[in-house]
Amino acid sequence: MKIAVIGTGYVGLVTGTCLADYGNDVYCVDVAEEKIDQLKNGIIPIYEPGLKGMVQSNYEAERLKFTTDIQTALLHSDICFIAVGTPMGEDGSADLQYVLAAADSIGQYMCRHMYVIDKSTVPVGTAKKVRDTIQKRLDERGSDLTFDVISNPEFLKEGTAVSDCSRPDRIVIGTDNDRAAKVMRNLYLPLVRNNETFIFMDIASAEMTKYTANAMLATKISFMNEISNICEAVGADVNKVRMGIGSDHRIGYHFIYAGCGYGGSCFPKDVEALIRTSSDYGYEARILKAVEAVNQDQKLVIPKKIVSRFGEDLTGKTFGVWGLAFKPDTDDMREAASITIIRELTGRGARVKAYDPKAAVQAQECYLKGNENVEYCASKYTTLVDADAMILVTEWKEFKVPDFEEIKKRLRTPVIFDGRNQYDAGQMAEYGFEYYQIGVGEQTEG
């Protein structure tokens, strides 16, 4: 099939590349000339395992092309994905300016019947806005060309996006006619193993599905963090509670790990957007507001533990931070807990020595830019030299089984604050560490 993908960010680049890998001819379009030039030269703007090699091989095979010229892309395409960003607006709603700008360009340059697919995460009602925008531009052209607008939300997880796209566990398609449904089935058939993967529905339900999925996962995380705080208060261990409830198949173990809060490009933005959408329709999303509030507070749990241990004034103290990205296997730091933790510490006079396998450049050039109390190190153990404590923030694989003797040798005082509950408390005691977890209260008889 001949496909155009507008937007070469996380979703657009992964989607376009995976579709090209299955033999389709794909044009990836972006207004940023520098990004397009980098992609042509094999420079990938994001870190995602397996993506770079796939981009290079498909580009060399001329199945994948990069351009700033949307007219040329549409001239050679029957299907056009809109995969641009929908950042959070000042009022919490999804900002649709880039989606509607893409729709306007489609209406301006399409030259045959076009299947327009909303891949961006957008609120209910966006498909109608896209349809109206395209039709307005066609009317201005005096054109009688026809088109279909289809909702096809993405369910990519950062760190496993290539496999999620190539072997999806479900493909949600929102459409109002059988012809468009058939085109979408044919597009995705090479990626699926059985028809159960396809879930067809109306457009509004498809738009709602993506927000609901992310809101549900965020709710599980905040719920477990709420439980972790209660566990600390009553003297229970949230790690044991998790095992106790996860064994119930109705609950399961996914997304019930206590930690220092969720971040990333999806959960914070989508929860807030769903709250705003609910408000626009006259409904107060009380649970989602609580999910968001708990998450913001959870990012302060580690700083509060540090203040409790070392005092409010941290001048002269140094902390080694392991992990900056909001999760492992990505360089994405959007809404990451590390930002809050580091700002809280340096705001009290502390120095921070940080290491992350992939996200250090993002921190230095964007999220912690200008913070002179942060030093970026080339290895995890370097962060600990003469540090007063180690702080684990992101559960990268290389942090799971470190050399604890080496950690103890390098630290000024043997103190570990574990924001992801990665280590065994008994083992930490054997090594002689002061070990602080999330959601583990002082044990009492009762």
pLDDT of 187 > 50? The answer is yes
pLDDT of 443 > 60? The answer is no
In which band, very low, low, confident or very high, does the pLDDT at 444 lie, cut at 50, 70 and 90?
very low
pLDDT at position 151, please?
98
Residue 366 a catalytic site member: no
pLDDT of 390 > 60? The answer is yes
Q: What is the mean pLDDT of residues 415-439?
A: 96
pLDDT at position 442, please?
66
Query: Alpha-carbon distance 345 to 28, whole Å?
Result: 42
Q: Which of 174-178, 188-192, 245-249, 430-434 has the lowest mean pLDDT?
A: 188-192
pLDDT of 30 > 60? The answer is yes
What φ, ψ does residue 70 adopt, rounded to 5°? -70, -30
Where is pLDDT greater, at 358 or 196?
358
Residue by residue, DSSP assigns 102-136 as HHHHHHHH--S-EEEEE-S---TTHHHHHHHHHHH
Residue by residue, DSSP assigns 188-245 as HGGG-SSGGGEEEE-HHHHHHHHHHHHHHHHHHHHHHHHHHHHHHHHT-BHHHHHHHH
In which band, very low, low, confident or very high, does the pLDDT at 446 lie, cut at 50, 70 and 90?
very low
pLDDT of 122 > 70? The answer is yes
Query: Alpha-carbon distance 337 to 330, whole Å?
Result: 14
Average pLDDT, the chain: 96
Report pTM.
0.92
Tens of pLDDT, residues 203-241: 999 999 999 999 999 999 999 999 999 999 999 999 999
What are 85's two structure tokens? 């960003």
> Which residues neighbour 255 within 8 Å (Cβ) at sequence distance 6 or greater?
217, 220, 221, 224
pLDDT at position 429, please?
96
Could you tell me the CA-to-CA distances from 258 to 235, 321, 438 in Å, in that order?
15, 19, 7
Tens of pLDDT, residues 269-310: 999 999 999 999 999 999 999 999 999 999 999 999 999 999
In which band, very low, low, confident or very high, does the pLDDT at 88 lie, cut at 50, 70 and 90?
confident
Q: Provide the CA 184 distance to its chain's centre, in angstroms.
A: 25
Q: From 385, 296, 290, select the one nearest 344 (Cα to Cα).
A: 296
Give 2: exposed, middle or buried? Use CB within 10 Å, 0-12, 13-18, 19+: middle
pLDDT of 420 > 90? The answer is yes
Tens of pLDDT, residues 124-133: 999 999 999 9
pLDDT of 392 > 60? The answer is yes
Q: What is the mean pLDDT of residues 56-82?
A: 97
Tens of pLDDT, residues 102-120: 999 999 999 999 999 999 9
pLDDT of 249 > 50? The answer is yes
pLDDT of 247 > 60? The answer is yes
Of these residues, 28, 80, 266, 377, which one is catalytic? Answer: 266
Torsion angle (degrees, nearest 10) of CA 136, 139, 141, 146: 90
